Amino acid sequence: MSWKRHIEPVLRPLIRLHQRTTRGLTLGVRGLVIDAEGRVLLVEHTYTDGWFLPGGGVERGETAEASLARELIEEAGVRVTAPAQLMSFHSNEANYPGDHLLVYRVEVWEPCEPTSRGEIANRGWFAPDALPEGIRPGHRRRIEEAFGVRPVDVLW
């Protein structure tokens, strides 16, 4: 529906604000999806600037792994076909009070049709040493950590 594409960017920040003020803790997941050439998958959203690792919030009653699988299908068109490896755990307190993120390394997957409509503007594969301009700093750091360029930092 075309109205969703226009309404979602307005509603999403309001929903996030509500969640941040009513929940003591939020948990998100990000997938570091790697292809056969060693490139990583990044997405651009329609409602905010920059390139991101695909992922999102863990819903009530959902495991982190189930959330990761759902988000990767929705945003990236990636179906996880073997258990993803938990790579790191980060506090995102500086950006969102009470928020924490789990980063999973995903190397065994198959392509599928993304189910998100209107949320993702672009998807792209990038060599870890040639990331795009506009990649968000926390996402750059997670990629550098995954490829041994820097030690893991517990802060996002």
Task: State yes or no: pLDDT of 106 exceeds 90.
Answer: yes
> Average of pLDDT values for 125-149?
98
In a domain, 152, yes or no: no
- Hey, how many other C-beta atoms are within 10 angstroms of the C-beta on 126? 15
Domain count, the chain: 1
- 69 contacts 80 by C-beta, under 8 angstroms: yes
Q: Which of 10-14, 20-24, 56-60, 72-76 is least confident?
A: 20-24
Helices marked H in the chain:
2-22, 64-71, 137-146
Query: For residue 119, what are the domain limits?
Result: 2-146
Question: How far is C-alpha 39 from the geometric centre of its chain's CA atoms?
Answer: 16
Quote the percentage of the chain above a pLDDT of 90: 78
Q: Is 153 contained in some domain? A: no
d(C-alpha 148, C-alpha 65), whole Å: 24
Residue 140 covered by a domain:
yes
Smallest Cα–Cα separation from 13: which of 96, 94, 90?
96
In degrees and rounded to multiples of 5, residue 71 shows phi and psi of -65, -40
At 19, the pLDDT band (50, 70, 90 cuts) reads: low
Task: Tell me what the pLDDT averaged over the chain comes to.
Answer: 92
Backbone dihedral angles phi then psi of residue 113, each to the nearest 5 degrees:
-75, 125
100 falls within a domain: yes
58-93 pLDDT tens trace: 999 999 999 999 999 999 999 999 999 999 999 999
Q: Is residue 121 part of a domain?
A: yes
| pTM, full prediction | 0.85
CATH code of residue 104: 3.90.79.10
For residue 151, tell me if it sits in a domain.
Answer: no
DSSP state of 35: -
Three-class SS state of 130: coil
Is 155 inside a domain boundary? no
| Domain annotation covers residue 37 | yes
Tell me how far apart the alpha carbons of residues 95 and 52 are, in angstroms, rounded to a whole number.
15
